[in-house]
Amino acid sequence: DSDTPNAAYEVSTNYAGIANNDRRLVTFRTVELLRSLIGTTKWKNAAQLMVLLRGLGQELHAAGGFREPAIGNIVRRIMCAVRQEVVNMEEQAAHHARASAVQVAEANSNSTSEAPEEMQPIDEHLAHTFHTSNTTAGSNANAATTSTTAGGRRQPSLVNLWTYAQHPQSNNNKHHKNKQTRRTDSFSSVDSSSDPLDQITSADMQGFPCSFYDKHAPLRGNIMEFIQEIMSDLEDLHKNIDEQAGNHLHEGEVVLCYGRSKTVESFLKAAAKKRKFQVIVCEGAPHFGGHRMASSLADAGVDTTVIHDSAIFAIMARVNKVLLPAHAVLANGGLIAPSGCNMVAQAAANNAVPMISITGMFKLCPMYPHEGQNTLQDFVSPSSVVDYREISDDLMSKVELINPVHDYITPQLIDLYITNIGAFQPSYIYRLLAEYYHTDDWESFE
């Protein structure tokens, strides 16, 4: 089969055991794994669930998930959902408490207004209470006894009001003590029948707000529903992106792409159903993924031309738009793309050609490019670029060959991100990070 990649291509594209065109499938399988573990593990509160998710994220990261940032993104997104659900439940409980307090206050005011004759003896009783407190050094208990009628009903007095005001404080202390006791018990009450929870210690459970240690009955169902929404978003990813194709590609335009990307390919095919345009595909040497993409587009009736990578700068003056795939979108709006894309972005910026990246939101990473081009970088064997048999041993000892898998593109070179939830400029990425991830979970797996 002419489309079968060679061994060097297999090594370079399968460096993490995952081919580039299966990234959405791998992310989907990760969500299914998390759904299974969360649904079957007998965690009892949000703190235990957060510790479980953090441990799973660390295990996946250590097993090679650092090469696929979407795996960690999914775990962080579920952790953010857990935090938000706890906050929502706490707000609902506070709202119900305020509503109950208002009802009790209204009921007390209504009962007071219906029996005004009972308020007449207060002045005489207060005078008697003041006289008793000035002439004797009685305790609060004696005052309370003096203010009690023969029927055992306590009458209003300043002493009683003072005693009543202090009583809720003791109840609150008792409640707080019981709350602390429940948190302490939750550390040692982990169900031993569930393997993922066996390793949880009291040290792991620390650092969460008090409400995370309370048991919330609807939490499990809400989190499972949220996970199902993530799975639905992944299933409809290409559909939601393709629906925006008509808004960004117009009649008669010349579009340039680099290499092969199933997301970009699906986007171009969807736009070709409504209008005609020309596509220039860079071959993406040495793996030549652009050849396979050009063949697929041509079969779909798209006017396609394949060019050498060295001709990118020369052809850029005729291009109206550049479409690039994404390996990851960073917190500053920068882009991690396949190796060679930075060259395309530089040429587009020099010719003032709009540069657009098409990606799903599951590739949004809460990470800053502190390492520059080495951010989320991986290096593979240069055998796919250079044939060692053609180089002498003396020359090989003097040459250092570097074969990076990705390029980092600064946000200044990117004009727009087209995602499954809409199109955004790089300057808006920080708002999306705040919606998708919590800052406390950004570095949970390193």
pLDDT digits (tens, 9 = 90+) for 207-233: 788 888 888 888 999 999 999 999 999
What pLDDT shows up at residue 83?
93
In this predicted model, which residue has the larger pLDDT, 279 or 397?
Answer: 279
Nearest to 324 by CA among 257, 384, 375: 257
Structure tokens at 315: 């052809």
The C-alpha atoms of residue 359 and residue 426 are separated, in whole angstroms, by 13
Looking at the chain, the whole-number percentage of residues with pLDDT higher than 90 is: 48
In this predicted model, which residue has the larger pLDDT, 256 or 136?
Answer: 256
What pLDDT shows up at residue 374?
80
Using the predicted structure, report yes or no on whether residue 128 has a pLDDT greater than 70: no
The number of C-alpha atoms within 13 Å of 264 and in the hemisphere containing its C-beta is: 27
Evaluate whether 162 touches 147 at the Cβ level (below 8 Å).
no
- Across 63-88, average pLDDT: 90
- Across 361-383, average pLDDT: 86
The C-alpha atoms of residue 168 and residue 179 are separated, in whole angstroms, by 16
DSSP element (H, E) containing 278: strand 278-282
Evaluate whether 252 touches 276 at the Cβ level (below 8 Å).
yes
Using the predicted structure, report yes or no on whether residue 303 has a pLDDT greater than 90: yes
**Residue 222 vs residues 83, 344, 421: alpha-carbon distances, Å:** 12, 44, 22
Task: Answer yes or no: pTM beyond 0.85.
Answer: no
